[in-house]
Amino acid sequence: MSRTRILLVAVIVAELCVGGLLAVRRLDKASPPLPDFSEVDSVTASEFRRLAANCQTADDWATLGETYLATGFFPEAEACLRHASKLDTKSTEFAFKHAFALERIGRLDEANAQYRSAIDRNHPRVADCWYYIGRNHLRMEQPDLALLAFGRADGLPAAKYELALLAARDGRTARADEVAAQLASEFPNAYPPASLRYRLALTRNDRPATELLSDQFFRRRVPLPTPFDTEVQWVFGTADGFGRAKLFRDAGREAEAGRFVGSEEKLRSALAARWEPEVADRLADVVFTLRRPDEAVRSLTEVVERGGPSFERLWRLGQAYVALDQADKALAVWERAARFASGPRARDLWHDLASWYENAKQPDKAKPLYARAYLIDGTDALTAGRPDDAVRALKQAVEADPQLAHAWFALGEAHRFASRTDDARTAYNQCLKINPDHGRAIRSLKLLGG
């Protein structure tokens, strides 16, 4: 055989060997799971496919896993994060996220093993890992193991709270109360310690303490900080920044920056992928700002018909009618909304309807509605911890409608929170004159010894 042929045979053999190796590697190479996207909008589905097609490194796998987790494909998320952790066995973060994904599908022993792995690799959030291990032991109804784990969580307030709860269930009520009191003092706006102390008082039949602590429970507005807050943040951040949701988010940012044309573009793209009332509602807002109220009317009418008649949507529809000089149509939808509106978000509805009546020279109809708007201003200020502002607004409320019993009650609360007990009593009593069955006023008066 000539040298040429020898060379060619050698080349062919080498090519076959390399090809064989590549084939084995290909068969060995993992491909990311692709769930059924038939119920996912086209924008989001194509983003998923792009991510999956580019899954090469551990980071790629982790990114896909986190995205699956944030969008509700939990088993696929766990598979991807499992693989990322396998590709990079040193990564603490992959172990941690894999643990979190295992937790979401209820594989708690395995989740705990991964948290321990993250701890062993010196994850920066060791205390949080122990906290999560403890929580998983609670899920598995293993109080002793939970106790141990929370004990290793470095004095995290959330861990201390769990230890207090375990003490309470164990009958060590004095210890539970002591820890809860410490937490209540350290976190004066957090309700869970007040809730625990309230329950302990209830158990020992201490009525005056339960009444006081019930009041504290309602006045403290926020939960205790927990490690879960961090996870919630990244999950929501990931979800909002992906696919169609990203269009919606970016549209909001454009609108906030005053770039309404850009916002409109993004909203229309989101709607083209899938119609949703929240997106169409936002679009109506944007086109309204761009001085196209007729389009806003069309969009909102469709939102109301297809997505349901919330009082907020009806209020906005009324505003669009006003911009079109169709005051009667505005009145009709606002009166419809007023029949079932409730809560602080109705404030602008009350105000706009009151203005309509005022302009129509119907003060008897306007005043009670202004009163409701001021009532909301007052309770908002009270919730925000500004009792003096609350008093100002609530005084306007009772001036506009002296028969609005709940405004007198709220005024009493505002005075009480500002430690003006005589003024508080006066306001509560006024409330009860109008409505003798206002249970909250009765309870608050009792707290003042009245």
Partner 1 sequence: MPESAYSGITPERRSNRASTNLPMSQPSPPAVPLPAQARERTSRLTWILLALAVLIPIGIASGLRYLPASSVPVITSQVSHFPPADLAFDQRELGPTPGFRPRITHVRIVDLNKDAQPEVLVCDAQRNRVFLYRPLPNSAWEEIPLGDELNSPAAATPVDLDGDGDLDLVVAGLGSVMPTDETVGRVMWLENTGGVFVNHILLDDVRRVSDVQPADLDGDGDIDLAVAVFGYHHGEILWMENKGGGRFRDHQLLATQGPSHVPIADFDGDGTPDIAALVSQEHEEVWLFKNRGKGEFTPRMVYQTLNFDLGGAGLITTDLDRDGNLDLLLVAGDNLEVNRHYPQPWHGCLWLKNVGGGQFDTHRIATVGGVYAAAVADFDVDGDNDVVLACMFNDWHRAGAASLVLLANDGRQNFSPKTIASRPIYLATITAGDLNGDGRPDVVAGSLYLDTPAPDRIGRLTAWLSRKEPAR
Residue 153: phi and psi, rounded to 5, are: -90, 25
Nearer to partner 1, 293 or 314 (CB): 314
Where does this chain touch partner 1 (CB under 8 A) — which range of 24-32, 149-157, 327-335, 384-392?
Answer: 24-32
Letter string b/e over residues 236-274, b meaning 16 or more CB atoms within 10 A of that residue's CB:
eebbeebbbbbbbbbbbebbeeeebebbbbbbebbbebe
Size of the site for partner 1 (CB under 8 A): 94
Contact between 88 and partner 1 per CB under 8 A: no
Nearer to partner 1, 12 or 360 (CB): 12
Q: How far is the CB of 418 from partner 1 (least distance, A)?
A: 20
Tokens 């609005």 — which residue? 404
Continuous segment of H or E residues that includes residue 256 = helix 243-256
Continuous segment of H or E residues that includes residue 425 = helix 421-434
* Residue ranges in 130-169 that form contacts with partner 1 under rule CB under 8 A: 135, 138-143, 146, 169
Contact between 107 and partner 1 per CB under 8 A: yes
Q: How far is the CB of 11 from partner 1 (least distance, A)?
A: 5
Query: CB of 146 within 8 A of CB of 164?
Result: no
Q: How far is the CB of 122 from partner 1 (least distance, A)?
A: 26
Contact between 420 and partner 1 per CB under 8 A: no
Contact between 2 and partner 1 per CB under 8 A: yes
As to burial, measured by CB atoms within 10 angstroms (0-12 exposed, 13-18 middle, 19+ buried), residue 420 is: middle
- Residue from 45, 51, 79, 382 touching partner 1 (CB under 8 A): that is 79
- Residue from 217, 248, 315, 370 touching partner 1 (CB under 8 A): that is 217
- Residue from 19, 124, 171, 450 touching partner 1 (CB under 8 A): that is 19
- Residue from 124, 241, 344, 385 touching partner 1 (CB under 8 A): that is 344
Q: How far is the CB of 269 from partner 1 (least distance, A)?
A: 17
Using DSSP's 3-state secondary structure scheme, residue 309 falls into: coil
Q: How far is the CB of 68 from partner 1 (least distance, A)?
A: 10
Nearer to partner 1, 324 or 442 (CB): 442
Letter string b/e over residues 304-331, b meaning 16 or more CB atoms within 10 A of that residue's CB:
beebeebbebbbbbbbbbbbeeeeebbb
Q: How far is the CB of 214 from partner 1 (least distance, A)?
A: 4
How far is the C-alpha of 169 from the C-alpha of 177, rounded, in Å? Answer: 12
Q: How far is the CB of 308 from partner 1 (least distance, A)?
A: 4
- Residue from 58, 62, 70, 371 touching partner 1 (CB under 8 A): that is 70
Where does this chain touch partner 1 (CB under 8 A) — which range of 78-86, 148-156, 327-335, 421-429?
Answer: 78-86
* Residue ranges in 255-274 that form contacts with partner 1 under rule CB under 8 A: 274
Quote the tokens at residue 231.
Answer: 């996870």
Contact between 195 and partner 1 per CB under 8 A: yes
* Residue ranges in 361-380 that form contacts with partner 1 under rule CB under 8 A: 379
Query: CB of 238 within 8 A of CB of 62?
Result: no
Using DSSP's 3-state secondary structure scheme, residue 190 falls into: strand
Nearer to partner 1, 12 or 257 (CB): 12
* Residue ranges in 286-315 that form contacts with partner 1 under rule CB under 8 A: 306-311
Query: CB of 117 within 8 A of CB of 91?
Result: no
Contact between 115 and partner 1 per CB under 8 A: no
Contact between 196 and partner 1 per CB under 8 A: no
Q: How far from 9 is each of 1, 3, 6, 129, 337, CA to CA, in Å?
A: 10, 10, 5, 59, 85
23: DSSP letter: H
Where does this chain touch partner 1 (CB under 8 A) — which range of 18-26, 175-183, 320-328, 359-367?
Answer: 18-26
Nearer to partner 1, 119 or 410 (CB): 410
Q: How far is the CB of 139 from partner 1 (least distance, A)?
A: 5
- 347: amino acid identity, one letter: R
- Residue from 207, 342, 364, 419 touching partner 1 (CB under 8 A): that is 342
How far is the C-alpha of 410 from the C-alpha of 390, rounded, in Å? Answer: 9
How far is the C-alpha of 65 from the C-alpha of 59, rounded, in Å? Answer: 10
